[in-house]
Amino acid sequence: MPEWSFTLRLNQPLTPEQADAFDHCDAFADGSVSYTLAPDTPNQYTHHPDPAKLSELSCDVEAPTLLDAIAQVARNIRLIPGLRAVGVRHDDTVTLDEAAQRCDRSHQSLVELSRDQRGLGGFPEPESGAEGTAFYSWRKIAKFLRSIGDPVPESPRDLVIADQVLRLAHELEGVDVAPGTLRALGLPVD
């Protein structure tokens, strides 16, 4: 089963109590979802975490599709009192495996393109100069693939659908909207 990497945005940063509940929740026991917790006394540290990162979960989840992976984490995060998913995004930095998930090419095909073993050359250079895993800019890879005729969307359809649904669900949270109105807007209502 494929592993999908994405960043799930939350309605708020995790509190220490929510982090404790997260750490003891069976749904997150496999380590495929991680968070950043702000320090109790941030003034004691010279480096402060980006406030936006405190309301995000880094996810590497096995599921049949990206949409299934996002839905699984969005459902499970509601097991932590006070938390809910409000959006999802992809990071620009990718490995060639992650890039292959986002386009209609195999990992091997991207490796060959990156080594100029296939095509006319011009594949983007890795963003990282260190030894080990090479990290690339997805925007640069997508631009390159479009230039050679591959139909690569700006964002995967599953990601767009999940982000829009999570944003809508967040906006509707606690709002009294008549089911007839939701149906008239084209939303399925039980």
Question: Is residue 12 very low, low, confident or very high in pLDDT (cuts 50, 70, 90)?
Answer: very high
Tokens of 70: 């996002």
| Residue 130 reports pLDDT greater than 80 | no
Q: Which of 45-49, 141-145, 174-178 is predicted with the least confidence, judged by mean pLDDT? A: 45-49
CA distances from 164 to 70, 142, 152, 169 (A): 12, 22, 20, 9
Pair of tokens at residue 150: 């591959």
Please tell me the predicted confidence (pLDDT) of residue 53. Answer: 79
pLDDT, greater one: 43 or 17? 17
Give the Cβ contact number of residue 148 at 10 Å.
13
**Alpha carbon separation from 77 to 20, 21, 35, 135 (Å, rounded):** 13, 10, 12, 29
**What does pLDDT average to over the chain?**
88
State the pLDDT at residue 72. 97
pTM comes to: 0.82
pLDDT of residue 2: 87
pLDDT at 45 over 60: no
Please tell me the distance from the alpha carbon of residue 67 to that of residue 70, in angstroms, as a whole number.
Answer: 5
Query: What pLDDT shows up at residue 49?
Result: 65
Residue ranges of alpha helices (H) inside the chain are 16-23, 66-77, 96-102, 107-114, 138-147, 157-172, 179-184
Position 41 pLDDT exceeds 80: no
